[in-house]
Amino acid sequence: MRTLITGGAGFIGSHLCDYFIEKGHEVLCIDNLLTGSPDNISHLIGNNRFRFIKHNVSDYIYVDGRIDNVLHFASPASPFDYLNYPIQTLKVGSLGTLNSLGLAKAKGARFLLASTSETYGDPQVHPQREDYWGHVNPVGPRGVYDEAKRFAEAMTMAYHRYHNMDTKIVRIFNTYGPKMRIKDGRALPNFMCQAIRGEDITVYGNGSQTRSFCFISDLVEGIYRLLISGENNPVNIGNPEEITILQLAEMILSLTNSKSKIVFKELPVDDPKVRQPDISKAMSLLHWEPRVSRDIGLQKTLKYFQDTLNKNK
């Protein structure tokens, strides 16, 4: 099998590169390093089943030879990143998805789109099931990401229906683990690094908003099962254990034995108040559910941030 992963030098993409290499695939990783890092894939350089191509997938993608699977993961993903790169985010969600679908069509490959729980926006249905159409502000600052992904889903379904392509859509909920960028601005890396350094823990709003955090190895397994399944409609992959952001901050404080104080900052515009996946579809169709407990996942991630911060000292 030859598997192409766009965004393969990012957090999730680099874990996917490892996973497919371990499965015996040849892996082509395409990334323009906008928010990713060569450090995430440096251990794979020299492996003759791995190739890195530095390229912006919003421009035409040319790859020689056979391709069996195209996994489209390229896109800024943290709110901090997509607010910094609004146009690139819209382009990679639209043009990047079009080019990735076009490549998959030309090669007769399976296609998998990395979509997001953000397609549900600030949801009025809780927990979120795949048949909920969402509540997104198209002209708010987060719209650049949410609408690009909604467009990407529509484009993927059009290629499936019109060109009869085998396409998959995974709606990924908040995922965490080693290789997250220290400064990607998301709650989990912020809180862990702030706690380790003894800095104030910045909770936005009053911290009552909820999220449901999935450990990276669980997500990757779910993505693989969806890829090889017969399902073409969107499937939620995430961990349904929901917590408030204030609880997350407190949990990280106690895990790190840190003397940091929690401080409250302004809540970003259109920040979703609740988020929790209904994973009954993944459970019945893919026989998938998360296995890594929050305690274990947080400990592994903390070790990664401690090691990374020590190296950067």
- What residue 204 binds from ligand UDP, ligand NAD, none (CB within 5 to 8 A, per partner kind)? ligand UDP
**Considering the rule CB under 6 A, would residue 306 count as an interface residue with ligand UDP?**
no
- Minimum distance of ligand NAD from residue 58's CB (angstroms): 5
- Which residues are part of the catalytic machinery? 145
Pattern 29-68, ligand UDP, x by CB under 6 A: ----------------------------------------
**Considering the rule CB under 6 A, would residue 52 count as an interface residue with ligand NAD?**
no
- What residue 79 binds from ligand UDP, ligand NAD, none (CB within 5 to 8 A, per partner kind)? ligand UDP
- Minimum distance of ligand UDP from residue 65's CB (angstroms): 37
**d(C-alpha 146, C-alpha 120), whole Å:** 8
Residue with tokens 């396409």: 167
Element (H, E) at 151: helix 143-163
Q: Closer to ligand UDP by CB, 78 or 128: give it.
A: 78
Selected range binding ligand NAD among 51-59, 129-137, 197-205, 285-293, rule: CB under 6 A = 51-59
**Burial label, 194 (beta-carbon count in 10 A; 0-12, 13-18, 19+):** buried
- Minimum distance of ligand UDP from residue 15's CB (angstroms): 18
**Considering the rule CB under 6 A, would residue 32 count as an interface residue with ligand NAD?**
yes
Q: Closer to ligand NAD by CB, 3 or 35: give it.
A: 35
Distances, alpha carbon 211 to alpha carbons 116, 238, 276, 313, in Å: 13, 10, 6, 31
Q: What angle do CA 296, 178, 17 make, to 5 degrees?
A: 120
Considering only residues 202 to 261 of the shown chain, the ones binding ligand UDP according to CB under 6 A are: 202-204, 209, 211, 245
**Considering the rule CB under 6 A, would residue 190 count as an interface residue with ligand UDP?**
yes
Question: Contact 268/79 with Cβ under 8 angstroms?
Answer: yes
**d(C-alpha 255, C-alpha 200), whole Å:** 16
**d(C-alpha 37, C-alpha 14), whole Å:** 9
Distances, alpha carbon 209 to alpha carbons 132, 138, 212, 244, in Å: 20, 21, 11, 5
Q: What angle do CA 38, 43, 45 make, to 5 degrees?
A: 75
Contacts with ligand NAD, residue ranges (CB under 6 A): 6-7, 9-13, 31-36, 56-58, 73-77, 81, 88, 92, 96, 114, 116, 172, 174-175
